[in-house]
Structure 1
Amino acid sequence: MKLFLIILIVLFTIPIFGQQNITLQECYELVTINYPLARQSQLLESQSQLNTDIISNAKLPQLSFDVQATYQSDVIEVPIPNSTIEPLNKDQYRATLSVNQLIYNGGITDAALNLETTQLKTKQKQVEVNLYQLKQKINQLYYSILLTQEKDALLNAKQKQLEAKLDEVKAGIRYGMLLPTSNKVLEAELLRINQQFIEIESNKTLLIQSLSIFIGQSLDASTTFQNPSIEIVFNTDLNRPEFELFQLKKEEISSSEALVAKNNTPKLFGFATGGYGNPGLNMLDNSFQAFYTLGVKLNWNVFDWNSNKKQRESLLMNKELVDIETETFKLNTNIELNQQQKEIEKNEAFVTSDLEIINLRKDVLKSADSQLKNGVITSSAYITELTNLFEDENTLVKHKIQLQLAKANYNVIKGQ
């Protein structure tokens, strides 16, 4: 007996723990983590770290090793008769190791590092913007699934009502109160309802699969989709990530300006070269010698035909382009907000009138139900009124879901 109870507990517990619940907010969060585009952020950070290391290497000593062997058609000779100085060999050899150390470059390296940091922030914010723009697609899929759930519930209610009515009609036929074929119409309608169940289930499965792919989370028909309560405030206060992106683009341009401005500053290097060769630094000594040189070098591009100035002017124009892009985005977003507000107001009006229509339909169906019991009308007439009520209830459900969808889209467009 105890074993039997344990088995029963396990059987009833598995579905409870196996059932999955999900909310719209969770879908938002999952898509920003699991959508393939989200992986770009980490890759961009790794790429930027490599670029930063490359730029920073400019501050480290630069080593170079050179080996050369040459044969010359002529060499330097001392034009002194009977001189004991031997002429140089025409075959000459040299191996050198050189070290160059940047001493001063006007802050170009630091400016380049700052630009790389700003570029990383801009690229990562672009990824965030692209992921944010998926929210409206999530809304569409999520509320379409909710709509199929509501339609399924309504269809279940209609099926139960028809089954109960079928039992009443069969009883009326047995007692001779109704025509013998009165039940056939109801049975045909029940078969049609089974077809509608198949269609709803097929649509729901397809929608769930699409949403599952988007958010990277395994979902199925047993998943419960919570219907969120959405509050909205009608105003034009925008909090979209695109505005942060536009600001970062301007900061990136400013960093580019700072780098360009330093390109013409003097650059001071220290260098040292050690080597071994024949001849060495003493050209008159025709033998293998070790040698070295030490020194500093200044490089200054004094005149560049105003190229630097024109580059900075071009960057200033880019800032103006970003300002125009920001203004255009704000304008288009406000237009979208206005459209969604009208959509919300329209569906609110539809829901109000739907409720009035359904109340009237219920009164008509109640009357038809009484008439069917008394044999005044046929089953077909009753089904017509029941179907009218069912269609109006479906319309109400559709308008309610469209209202919730419009509210969700309004908040997404607004940036909440």
Structure 2
Amino acid sequence: MKRFIIIPIILITLTGMGQQSISLEECYGLVAENYPLAKQSQLIENQNSLDKAIISNAKLPQFNLDAQATYQSDVIEIPIPNANIEPLNKDQYRATLSVNQLIYNGGATNAALNVKSVQTKTKQKQVDVNLYQLKQQINQLYFSILLAQETDLLLKAKQTQLRAKLAEVQSGIKYGVILPTSDKVLEAELLKLNQQFREVESNKSALIETLSSIIGKNLNASTLFQNPLVDTQIRHDLNRPELELFQLKKDEIAHSEALISKQNAPKLLGFATGGYGNPGLNMLDNSFQTFYTVGVKLNWNVFDWNSNKKQRQSLAINKDIVDTEAETFKLNTNIELNQQQKEIDKIESFIASDLEIIKLRKEVLKSADSQLKNGVITASAYITELTNLYEDENTLVTHKIQLQLAKANYNVIKGQ
């Protein structure tokens, strides 16, 4: 006997193991990985590597190759009679290779690299912010699917109850206790239920398809959407990625100020030039010669008409703008949180009322059930009371899902 009991249990277990399931947190993680916008993070990092390599090239020797051939209308002549100095050719040729090596620029290159690094972090955090803003959309889809699941369960429960009642009514009709057409009313209600099943299934399928597209994972009607235990813990601090973005913008401004302060620093370069031409460095030797020069060069912009100062003032204004954006964001977020908390309180009061209403509806339906069996009321009157109970139970389920959605949105707004 035990063998026959074990086999169905194993089959049920295997079926459950094979069913795909997903949670709300998994949806959050998948959208951060698979949403097309998420690819920008790696692209930004690749771009940063290239830009930093370009900036770092300033520390490497810079090579320049020049070549020219000219013809001039006149050349230098030595006004000394019988000097036997051959005049220069009017056609002249020269090819040079120059090397310049930066020795010192006040740390401007390293400052530029720091600016580029923080700019990259700012861009990547902006991607994170944009992805985070998808969470409320995911919440709406996910809990709408949960509501469809719960509605389907309610419909099945109602269907089971109607079928059982139909069997009772048909038996009562057979023995003349209940009016002959009473079963037709129940059969019509069962047909209406089939329409409701199809509508719920269609809506759920559309929601699942949309959610699947956003998170980049194939989901279907058989996927089990886990009911999350969403709770709200009142905290006074926000933990939104937008706040990190504002801080990174301020860091970017600070590094830009450091870069500007180094732009007018003296620059020391070493250089070397080698060449071949006619004439060479000796202008009196009218032949092709090799030549070279080496040296150091100092470049210092001692007066820039206060351009550097005005740039720093402009950055200070940008910093104030970022501060006002952060303050505005915090204010609006706190307003949203207060509104969401009031929504949570309202729905919780609705649920308490729903439970009382359902309790009363069940008592009414119990009485109607007894009256139908005894032929006191018609099947239509019974259907009315059963539908009233179902609608109130559906309202309770809707409010419970709405409460979970409100709490999930509260958490998203808070950044928990």
For Structure 1 versus Structure 2, the TM-score category normalised by the shorter chain is over 0.9
Equivalent in the alignment of 1:334:
334
Aligned to 1:220: 220
Distance 1:380 1:364 in 2: 15
Partner letter of residue 348 of structure 2? E
Residue identity opposite 1:317 in structure 2:
I
Deviation of 1:12 (Å) = 6.8
- Aligned runs of 1:16-415 on 2, under 5 Å? 16-415=16-415
Residue 8 of structure 1 and its aligned partner are, at CA, apart by 9.8
Q: Distance in 2 between matches of 1:91 and 1:8?
A: 104
Q: CA deviation at 1:10?
A: 11
Q: Which amino acid aligns with 1:394?
A: N
Equivalent position amino acid for 1:370 in 2: S
TM-score (norm 1): 0.96
- Is the contact between residue 67 and residue 94 of structure 1 (CA under 8 Å) also seen in structure 2? yes
Shift of 1:15: 4.0
Deviation at 1:231, TM superposition (A): 2.0
Normalising by the residue count of structure 2, what TM-score does the alignment of the two structures yield?
A: 0.96
User: In the aligned structure 2, how far is the partner of 1:335 from the partner of 1:13?
Assistant: 48
Deviation readout 1:173-222 (Å, 9 max, x if unpaired): 11111121111111111000000000000000011111111111111011
SS in 2 for 1:217: coil
What secondary structure does 2:177 align onto?
coil
Deviation per residue, 1:319-355 (Å, 9 max, x gap): 1111100100000000000011001000000000000
Secondary structure in 2 matching 1:272: strand
**Structure 2: how far apart are the matches of 1:173 and 1:414?**
61
SS in 2 for 1:359: helix
- Aligned-residue offset at 1:23: 0.6
Deviation at 1:72, TM superposition (A): 1.1
1:121 maps to a residue whose letter is K
1:18 Cα deviation from its structure 2 partner: 3.0
Q: For 2:77 and 2:58, how far apart are their aligned partners in 1?
A: 43
Q: Please tell me whether the aligned partners of residues 52 and 113 of structure 1 are also in contact (alpha carbons under 8 angstroms).
A: yes
Deviations 1:81-111, CA, capped at 9 Å, x for gaps: 2331111111111111100000110110010
Cα distance in 2 for partners of 1:277, 1:9 equals: 96
Question: Structure 1 40/299 Cα, relative in aligned 2: closer, same or farther at 3 Å?
Answer: same
Aligned counterparts of 1:79 and 1:176: Cα–Cα separation in 2: 146
Please state how far the C-alpha of 1:53 moved relative to its aligned partner.
0.6
Q: What's the CA shift string for 1:148-172, capped at 9, x where partnerless?
A: 0000000000001001111111111
- Per-residue CA shift, 1:14-60, capped at 9, x if unaligned? 74443111111111111111111111111111110111111111001
Indicate conservation of the 8 Å contact 1:150/1:397, yes or no: yes
User: For residues 149 and 9 of structure 2, what CA distance do their matches in structure 1 show?
Assistant: 29
- Kindly provide the CA deviation profile for residues 60-91 of structure 1, in whole angstroms up to 9, marking residues without a partner as x: 10011111111112111112223311111111
Cα offset, 1:302, TM superposition: 1.2
Letter aligned with residue 66 of structure 2: D
Aligned residue-pair number: 410
- Label 1:9 to 1:160 Cα distance change in 2 as closer, same or farther (>3 A): closer
Measure the CA separation in 2 of the matches of 1:288 and 1:331: 78
Which consecutive residues of structure 2, in runs of 5 or more, have no partner in the other structure? 1-6
Q: What pairs up with 1:8-19 in 2 under 5 angstroms? A: 15-19=15-19
Which secondary structure does the structure 1 equivalent of 2:264 belong to?
coil
**Aligned to 1:404, what secondary structure does the other structure show?**
helix
CA distance in structure 2 between the partners assigned to 1:212 and 1:231 by the alignment = 25
**Structure 1 gap ranges (5+):** 1-6
Aligned-partner Cα distance in 2 for 1:389–1:88: 114
CA distance in 2, matches of 1:413, 1:25: 15
Residue type of the partner of 2:111? A
AA partner of residue 225 (structure 1): F
Q: Find the residue that maps to 2:180 and give its secondary structure.
A: coil
SS in 2 for 1:244: helix
Amino acid aligned to 1:301: N
Specify the code of the residue in structure 2 equivalent to 1:103. I
- What is the deviation of 1:306? 0.5
For 1:11 and 1:275, how far apart are their aligned partners in 2? 88
For residues 338 and 150 of structure 1, what CA distance do their matches in structure 2 show? 29
Q: Aligned with 1:81: secondary structure?
A: coil
> What CA distance in whole angstroms lies between the structure 2 residues aligned with 1:389 and 1:144?
22
| In 1, Cα distance between equivalents of 2:11 and 2:81 | 117
Which amino acid letter does the alignment assign opposite residue 98 of structure 1?
A: S
